[in-house]
Amino acid sequence: MAILDCAIVGGGPAGLTAGLYTTRGGLENVVMFEKGMPGGQITNSSEIENYPGVTGEITGMDLMMPWPAQCQKFGLVHEMVKVTCVSKSGDIFTIHKEDGTTTDAHSVIIGTGSSPRRVGFKGEDELFGKGVSTCATCDGFFYKGKEVVVIGGGDTALEEALYLAKICSKVYIVHRRDAFRSAPNTIKRVHNTENIELVLDSTPDEVYGDDMGVTGIRVINKDGQSRDIEVPGVFTFVGNDVNNETLIQKDGNFLCEMNELGQVKVNLKMQTSLPGLFATGDMRQDAPKQVVSAAGDGAVAALSAISYVDELLN
Ligand code: FAD
Ligand code: NAP
């Protein structure tokens, strides 16, 4: 296979936008390596109301649906495979894939995003997928007319609690502090929703169940008092970890400079410390963690990659 002008790793809002701008901007051979369906983590969101120009009730899946076709129109190729490592020798990058094959490229734009973090209470791993979930859009319907617990106090927890409150008879929000780190309007909506009960200053201790799945969760408040909440569903939304594994080299070092949080250091052109490697979206330092900014990063990185490849080859 010919050396790609650009390899894009990750097909979320950042990777897809990079795909649109690189192909439309004249790069010839561009492949986006995405392990699943393109769209990224926003496809798990039940509602998005802050993507400019998109109004009305729209899910993350609805928002992302047209993006891949728009890129493919300009020549972007999607290869559905998990990338295990990105390495560089001389001026050539190599994309190592889970199926054992490799692809070489003159430039790489990486946008592997982030993944839901586990909370760390007893039973969480054992009952994951059997009542413990990180996706309300995917699993909320299983609890139609039933009570569920949501754990977390950020934008995701509160927004997903509001979504679940429309399906479920009652939603308990268990949060370890007495203040939320969410948008004021979202907090207001939570307070105004009758079937949401706040269980504040409390942390989950253990989720338990039987052969059928989860039957309840024990939480402990700051005074050490425990409370059992009997529910068949527990949704955890306690933040995300950066997906930076593909940048780890054989010697254990990262391919480029990272910060102490494991995020990629970039400049305003989305250039990393390694020439020809650009990082975008949730995985880069100081990311606002928004679809619109991830898409913006993708466009910036693509324009930088076009200049880099142009200079390298001409
Ligand atoms: P991601 O969307 O995480 O995409 C990364 C992609 O890379 C994924 O498709 C993944 O499969 C792929 N990938 C990862 N590793 C590999 C690998 N090794 N090989 C191949 N492919 C790989 N933002 C808003 O602006 N508004 C909202 O209302 C909003 N709501 C949200 C609700 C929820 C439930 C969540 C979880 C997030 C929400 N966000 C929202 C945040 C938003 O989704 C992210 O900021 C955005 O998706 C980041 O885009 P990204 O392209 O950087 O990464
Ligand atoms: P987040 O903002 O990091 O919030 C995580 C929440 O989980 C916090 O309330 C935190 O508590 C709690 N938490 C973390 N670890 C915990 C533990 N071990 N046990 C109990 N609770 C724990 O994560 P997020 O809500 O997923 O949001 C991620 C990013 O995406 C944010 O930047 C957010 O703004 C963005 N986002 C935006 C939108 C939107 O714009 N509409 C929607 C969703 C997400 P503390 O508060 O005590 O730290």
Give domain limits for the chain.
Answer: 6-116+240-313, 132-236
Q: What is the pTM of this model?
A: 0.85
How far does the centroid of ligand 2 lie from the alpha carbon of residue 158, in Å? 9
Catalytic site positions: 135, 138-139
pLDDT of residue 46: 78
Alpha helical stretches, state H, 77-208: 136-139, 155-167, 184-191
pLDDT of residue 212: 87
Nearest CA, atom 53, ligand 1: 113
Ligand 1 pocket mutation, candidates 17, 31, 33, 41, criterion most atoms within 8 A of CB:
41
pLDDT of residue 129: 84
As a whole number of angstroms, the distance between CA 305 and CA 108 comes to 8
Ligand 1 pocket mutation, candidates 16, 33, 45, 266, criterion most atoms within 8 A of CB:
45
In order of 98, 114, 203, 244, the CA distances from 84 in angstroms are 6, 15, 35, 10
Second-level CATH architecture of 132-236? 3-Layer(bba) Sandwich (3.50)
Residue 223: strand, helix, or coil: coil
Q: Give yes or no for residue 124 CB within 6 A of ligand 2.
A: no
Q: Give yes or no for residue 115 CB within 6 A of ligand 1.
A: no
The CATH code that applies to domain 6-116+240-313 is: 3.50.50.60
Q: Give yes or no for residue 82 CB within 6 A of ligand 1.
A: yes
As a whole number of angstroms, the distance between CA 102 and CA 95 comes to 5
pLDDT of residue 139: 86
As a whole number of angstroms, the distance between CA 128 and CA 118 comes to 10
Residue 274 near residue 108, CB atoms below 8 Å: no
How far does the centroid of ligand 1 lie from the alpha carbon of residue 176, in Å? 25
Q: Give yes or no for residue 96 CB within 6 A of ligand 2.
A: no
* pLDDT tens series, the chain, 314 aa: 799 999 999 999 999 999 999 999 999 899 999 999 999 999 988 778 889 999 988 889 999 999 999 999 999 999 999 999 999 999 999 999 999 999 999 999 999 999 999 999 999 999 998 999 998 887 899 899 999 999 999 999 999 999 999 999 999 999 999 999 999 999 999 999 999 999 999 999 999 999 889 999 999 999 999 999 999 999 999 998 999 999 999 999 999 999 998 999 999 999 999 999 999 999 999 998 889 999 999 999 999 999 999 999 98
Q: Give yes or no for residue 204 CB within 6 A of ligand 2.
A: no
Q: Which residue has the tokens 């480029």?
A: 256
How far does the centroid of ligand 1 lie from the alpha carbon of residue 113, in Å? 5
Same fold, 6-116+240-313 and 132-236: yes
